[in-house]
Amino acid sequence: MMRIATSTIYSEQTLAIENIESQYQLQGQELSTGISLNEPSDDPLLIAQDLSVRNDSAVTTQVGQNLTGLNDLLSTTDSTLSNLTNILQSARNLAIEGASDVITPAQRSQIGDQINQLLEETIGLANTQYDGKFIFSGTAAPPGSSLVQAVGDPPTAVETANNIVQQSEELPNGQLVPTNVTLQQAFNLDASNGSPSVFDMLIRLRDTLTDQQTTDESTAQVNVSNQAILPTTTIASMESSTPQILMTPLASVGNGNVAFTLYTSLTPTGQTFIFTAGQSMQNVIAEINAATGTTGVTASFDYQTQRMSLDDIANQSFYITDSPAAAGLATGNFSSAFLLGSTGDVVDNLSTQLGDIDNALTVALNAAGEIGATVQTVTSLSSTEASRGETDTQVQSNLEDTDIAKVTSQFSLSQTALEAAYQTTTRLEQDDLFNYLQNG
């Protein structure tokens, strides 16, 4: 009869114990960590799936972080624009209050002080930063601590270090969206239509209220889009011509001359100004200013905003009319062509400025609307990426997590098998040669 060597039986028994111990330790590790996949050898097929899910999850996490950062930037911009529109609405309310006929100059001056506070708040909003960068600077990186710097105290102007290049970003879905608005888009700075910036508008509003300025100014730009009045532009070229320069062309009767009459406290019977067809815009302004000593009124034309302004240096009310000129010269429509009112006083001045405030409000609201649309898009995409991340986490959990009930049962069986193997090995080690031969 053939017998198996004792050493062979012992080796086989030892190998079996090692296998059970390895399985027992692996099951114990799974129970303690809750993870069933730790090494490629645990389950090569599941590991491959797990690595794919992990890679997708890493990309989703990074995309989510990028979207969160972008959303924070956009939310900061949106909040700042909301504060700006609130300031502009407050300025409008104060302008209406100041335009009342029943308040005193001292009360108007106090309102002017409130406007100055709004101006300082506006400059602060323009200098808003996110992650160490100015949100309204375009693509510029101002070296100083301010994007917008007040000139004077109280401010008489502002200096800026921005550009008007809007930034954009391609989202994971391929959509290209704006990620900021510029000072021009939010604060109407250097507007292409020549309308005043928020800063200039608030400075002028404050000065009007504080100094009781009596001004008759064009209610809006007087030029046709893509055309402009220059210092050398003549009366003749501002009359019906091709191309048309004024939105309401100058009109005269027969000789091409136009005229208007100015009534002030110094000239109660009126001072008439006649402008011939060959005179230029700078001639018109110079002629009105040459009579300032007589009328008390100065004139200016802003070639950027394309608006005319008549100001009484003593802040006294005055009136203008397209009255018939001397020597039978017809007046034409000088006042309506330059969008001037019939009265120059502080109330009419404030009323005219309401149009500038409303324009600034519209600009700010448009900027807020553009950013708001981007916020909605990014928020929606963030929600999609978050759902995708949750799905990846669930799939990864299904692949990696230990089935506690199943592994607990296996762990118990392995423990029992290991104890039995230890007992068998112990008996083998205790048998002597006689017992082994006898039992064999």
The residue ranges of every structural domain in the chain are 1-36+401-440, 44-214+347-400, 220-344
Residue 34 CA to residue 196 CA, distance in Å, equals 67
Spatial neighbors of 275 by CB under 8 A, at least 6 apart, are 235, 257, 258, 259, 283, 284, 287, 334
Confidence class of residue 55 from pLDDT cuts 50, 70 and 90?
low
CATH (one of 1.20.140.10, 1.20.1330.10, 3.30.1490.20, 3.40.30.10) for 44-214+347-400: 1.20.1330.10
Phi and psi for 242 in degrees, rounded to 5? -120, 120
Confidence class of residue 1 from pLDDT cuts 50, 70 and 90?
very low
Which residue did the predictor score with more confidence, 335 or 44?
335
Confidence class of residue 399 from pLDDT cuts 50, 70 and 90?
very low
Q: Average pLDDT in the 365-391 region?
A: 75
pLDDT value, residue 171? 72
- Looking at the whole model, is its pTM more than 0.85? no
pLDDT at 64 over 60: no
Q: Average pLDDT in the 367-372 region?
A: 90
Q: DSSP string spanning 312-374?
A: ETT---EEEE-PPPGGG----SHHHHTT--SEEBHHHHHHHHHHHHHHHHHHHHHHHHHHHHH
